Every structure is written in C-alpha cells, then in structure tokens.
Amino acid sequence: MDAVFDLATLRGAARVAGFTWTDEELEALRPVIQASLRLLATLDTLPLDAVEPTTQYRIL
C-alpha cells in the first residue's frame, strides 16, 4: 500500500530541503511525488547490502 502524503508533510519535507513552496505548487506536485517515491521504493527491495556504491568513478 502506497504511503499518501498530505500537504503538511510535503511542505515540511520541502522546508527541510530549503524550499518554501506554495500549497498550490505542492498540490500540483503531489501525484508526481507519489509516483517518484513509488519508483524509488523499488530500490529498497533489491539485494544491495553487499554492494559498495560507486563513489569514485573509474578514472584511469
């Protein structure tokens, strides 16, 4: 079941990131945010615990 975020939650998250966006803007963004968070949640299902993240690119 998807988490559903209300405007207050989105407003708070935006502020944590340093932005003050209007409720109108956040309301317009809400379905896209939901979709993007659904997409990102798929990463949590992957067996990645033993995988070292790419932090230094392969420069020769």
Partner 1 sequence: MSADLAFAPVADLARMIARKEVSPVEVVRVHLERIAALDATLRAYITVCDEAALAAARAAESALAAGRPVGALHGVPVALKDLYDTAGVRTTGGSKILADRVPEADATVVRRLKEAGAIVLGKLHMVEFAYGPEGLNAHHGAPRNPWDAAAARMPGGSSSGSGVAVAAGLAPAALGSDTGGSIRIPASLCGITGLKPTYGRVSRAGVLPLAWSMDHVGPMTRTVADSALLLRVMAGYDPADATTSVLPVPDYLAALSGDVKGLRVGLLRSFFLESATPEVRAAVETAAKALEKAGAILDEVALPAVAHVGAASYAVVASEALAYHTGWLKSRPTDYDPEVRKRLQLGAFITGAHYVRGQQVRALVRNEVDAALARRDVLLAPATPLTAPRLDERQTTLGDGPSEVRGALIRLTRPFNFSGHPACAVPCGFSTGGLPIGMQLVGRPFDEATVLRAADAYQRLTDWHTRRPVLA
By the rule CB under 8 A, 8 interacts with partner 1 = no
For 3, 29, 31, 49, 57, the CA distances from 34, given in Å and listed in that order, are 8, 9, 5, 25, 31
Shortest Å, Cβ 1 to partner 1: 19
* Closer by beta carbon to partner 1, 1 or else 50: 50
For 21, 49, 52, the CA distances from 58, given in Å and listed in that order, are 39, 21, 14
Residues 16-55 touching partner 1, rule: CB under 8 A, are: 17-19, 21, 25, 28-29, 32-33, 36-37, 39-40, 42-44, 46, 48, 51-55
